[in-house]
Structure 1
């Protein structure tokens, strides 16, 4: 099977926000689509290892911020390249809360949706949530950011900076935390958990 065939599927880029108890959190996802029109239903997919996924399962609610083409890599990095278990992603970042208490981004987005989960399906690496859209609003007239736009225009190109002199013992996915054991990561390797390519892995050095 040619994994690169899947690169031709169209995706957006979204910030998926939720709450559980007094904690709010969010992550980046590129899988959301409208599944029904009357009443309006959307389906989103979230990595099972993500704290956001766990919190949606607990609360049954989420917000979806549709990123637009003004979005910066700093925003992608804040919500997609660190874990809410280790950092408050919304600290000093402009946001609001919807009627369910879920956080959503108020800049660099073109639309925001408020959703309640109706059902879920464990897909192994991800969980698919089907939700009712209870509110929606347009935030800007900027065109939405697609995953292809992100890869071509937003994501920094791979750096050629020399690595430290310590021995590399493994490679860690910056998106989901999966660890590939070995000193060399194949150039065409894809994360078995989140599907991200080798360029989204960082080296793990010996102690």
Structure 2
């Protein structure tokens, strides 16, 4: 599926992308189930190290059983992309714009969310056909950065990632982000309730 169609379909229904990093397989599945129960549709399990793959496999098994979508994050090489694609991930995410990953994801037809932090990177991503982009590190860039970049790049859909929680998610959405990515904040039931209010889902 086209990346823009995939991310738009899911994040327009619920703008939160859950990121569950450095958790063992049972804890990863528990967090996935909690997120799904709260209405979150997309889950990312980063695979920056080989020991993260068992957690990704467990999340994928749970996703298949529940009709949900799980992707792999921190995919920075074509080899990683091939490995997670074989496991059956629904999408991939990267911290930056990695040319070989971007090219291979297009070849495979696997939705990919590359990271950007500058106007030059946004332009390069658009030139490759990517309109959904991960604004990273979002807390350091700030919500005003989103507004500033949407002026020259109105066709970009940003997912704010890095340092996002219930205290600042609304500001990034108000600035024009189509999604926000959260990790540890989703472990707090009170934070989940605050997120429901500020994201209107």
Same fold (TM over 0.5): no
Higher-Rg structure is 1
Could you tell me the TM-score, scaled by structure 2's length?
Answer: 0.25
Greater helix proportion:
2
Greater strand proportion:
1
Could you tell me the TM-score, scaled by structure 1's length?
Answer: 0.24
